Amino acid sequence: MQIADLYIRVSTDEQADKGYSQRDQEERLRNIVSLKNIRIDRIIFEDHSAKTFERPEWQKYMDSFRRGKSGKETRLLLFTKWDRFSRNISEADQMISKLTKLNISPQAIEQPLDLRVPENKLLLAIYLLTPEVENDR
C-alpha cells in the first residue's frame, strides 16, 4: 500500500472564498486517496504564501525527514494543484530535487504529472510560472 502525506495550503481569505479552502482541499485529497487505496500518514495544514518554502508547517515537515524519520519506501506528497505547493518556479525545482532525494514524490491531483517524463517538465513550468506571474502582477 502506498503512503501519502497531504499538503493543504491557503494564504488569503479570497482563496478560501473561491473554493481553495482547507476543508475543500482536504476533502478532494481524501477522496483520491480513498479511491486509490493510499494510506495517509500526515496531513499538513499551512496558511502562508507559497512564494518561498520558508513556511512554518513546511519547515516542520522537512525537519522531520532531516532527523531521520524518512523510510526507505517512496511516499507521495499530495496537494490539489501545483500552486498549492509553490508559486516560485526556481524554488519549486530545488524543492522537488530535495524531496526526490528523500524518496518523496510530489504530485498535484488535479494537474497530475509523471516527472520522470522529460516533456512533463514543460507542463510543470507552466503550472508553476503562471501563479508566479500573478504574484508579480
- Supply the pTM of this predicted model: 0.90
Concatenated DSSP letters for 43-100?
Answer: EEEE-S-SSSS--HHHHHHHHHIIIII--SS-EEEEESSHHHH-S-HHHHHHHHHHHH
Alpha carbons within 13 angstroms on the beta-carbon side of residue 4 total 25
Pairing relation of β-strands 104-108 and 75-79? parallel
CA-nearest of 123, 130, 129, 88 to 108 is 123
Alpha-carbon distance 135 to 67, whole Å? 34
Under 8 Å between Cβ of 8 and 85: no
Domain 3-136: which CATH number of 3.30.930.10, 3.90.180.10, 1.10.3720.10, 3.40.50.1390: 3.40.50.1390
Under 8 Å between Cβ of 84 and 28: no
Q: Quote the distance between the C-alpha of residue 39 and its chain's center.
A: 17
pLDDT by residue for the chain (137 residues), tens digit each? 899 999 999 987 556 556 678 999 999 999 999 999 999 999 999 999 889 999 999 999 999 988 765 567 789 999 999 999 999 999 999 999 999 999 999 999 999 999 989 999 999 999 998 877 777 77
For the chain, the structural domain boundaries read 3-136
